[in-house]
Amino acid sequence: MQNLITIDSLIIIKSFFITFFLLLTLPPLAKKIGHTDSPSSRKKHAGEVPLVGGLSIFLCLLILYYWLPIKNHAYILAASLIVICGTIDDNRELSAKVRIFIEMIAALIMIKWGGIEINNLGNLFGFGDISLGKFSSIFTVFAIIGGVNAFNMLDGIDGLAGSLSLLVFILIFIIALTTPEIISLCLLFISAIIAFLLFNLRIFGRKKASIFLGDTGSMLFGFTICCLLIEASKIEKNIISPVTVLWIIAIPLFDSISIMIRRIRKGQSPFAPDREHFHHILLLAGYSVNQTVGIILLIAFTAGSFGILGDRLFNFPEWLMFYIFISFFYLYYWGMTHSWKLMKLARYLREHNQDRRKVKRRQQSLTYSGQNRRILSDRRSGKERRYHDIRKEIYKERRN
């Protein structure tokens, strides 16, 4: 146990500094070879931004692979395919069919060689456990592909995909404290993502991200998170129930599924890019980028915490947790299909909070001004009492 703690501590430190060093050294090379993201009608950032965030984290993973307590060669091979696909897509925009095919190959590698497979969905409907049987491999492939694209779709504003992935890795780490092969990989990604967010978030007075994650990073995060959650939900490990997995990644699932349904209903490709995601609605409502990221993180944390506590602490039935999840998804989907109403509500809440802050500042200002007036009045009266000049009176008496 002591050896594992030491190894994990080394992973945390090395992962952060290796990623930080790579994020300092790779951007000049990326700009030189043109591995950057350019502004367009869909991308509103300014200037050429290096797409080396995901690549730096993956290189850190390869460097630290030797120190992982349990090595999964299948994961490294499959993740390499995902990263290659994402890197090419960052430069040439691969078609959706090619990306899905590569994601399918990566998923099959994890199923056939890595031992990652969903065999049982638990008691989702209240009629007993749902065993997938011979359909388990097909279902697992679709689950991994769906997870990869869900996280890829989130990468729309500075700091969102990285921050949300960081939150999910932390939640997985909390529920899998007794599983070395899971927590070591979680710690590696947590530390590396923190280093990346120092360059990607709008902090320290920075008005825009200096480095982007790219499809390389968002796809790598989605793929890794899916593999870890499938491993944690195995019946023999019994760390979490399958329905809890849905709660942990609720926001990526809600956003991707609802937006894909809307695109299909419009006769568009479900993978067609647009600016109708939840974070775009919050931006249109007047929230800043950092406020938007904070709101989505708060919702994601609430959903994930509810799923974990309902499963591990309160022992809610799986079917109850699933029906609540479906109910919340319906509310989310209704809100997205009536985005103008949602935007109006978000704008009202923002303006209401601003008005409350203005009133509070005004009250504080009036109180402060009143106190100042009383203090000055006391000082003047005190001065008059202490320094009353009687020389004029003495002069008048002498003349008389």
Buried b / exposed e over 355-387, threshold 16 CB at 10 Å, is eeeeeeeeeeeeeeeeeeeeeeeeeeeeeeeee
Residues written for the chain? 400
Domain extents for the chain?
Answer: 2-337
Looking at the chain, the whole-number percentage of residues with pLDDT higher than 70 is 86
43-61 pLDDT, tens per residue?
Answer: 555 568 999 999 999 999 9
The pLDDT of residue 312 = 87
What mean pLDDT is predicted for residues 7-32? 91
230-289 pLDDT, tens per residue?
Answer: 999 886 667 889 999 999 999 999 999 998 898 888 888 787 777 778 898 888 888 899
Rounded CA-CA distance 309/303 in Å is 10
- Comparing 124-133, 296-305, 321-330, 369-378, the range with the smallest average pLDDT is 369-378
Q: Which helix (H) or strand (E) holds 366?
A: helix 339-386
Rounded CA-CA distance 352/174 in Å is 36
The pLDDT of residue 185 = 92
Helix (H, G, I), strand (E, B) or coil at 332: helix
Q: Predicted confidence band at 392 (pLDDT cuts at 50, 70, 90)?
A: low
Q: Which residues contact 168 (CB under 8 A, 6 or more apart)?
A: 225, 248, 249, 300, 304
57-96 pLDDT, tens per residue?
Answer: 999 999 998 888 777 899 999 999 999 999 999 988 888 8
The pLDDT of residue 50 = 93
385 pLDDT higher than 50:
no
Q: Among candidates 262, 302, 256, which has minimal Cα distance to 279?
A: 256
Q: What pTM was computed for the model?
A: 0.85
- Comparing 106-110, 225-229, 284-288, the range with the smallest average pLDDT is 284-288
Q: Predicted confidence band at 394 (pLDDT cuts at 50, 70, 90)?
A: very low
102 pLDDT higher than 50:
yes
Q: Which residues contact 179 (CB under 8 A, 6 or more apart)?
A: 231, 232, 237, 239
168 pLDDT higher than 50:
yes
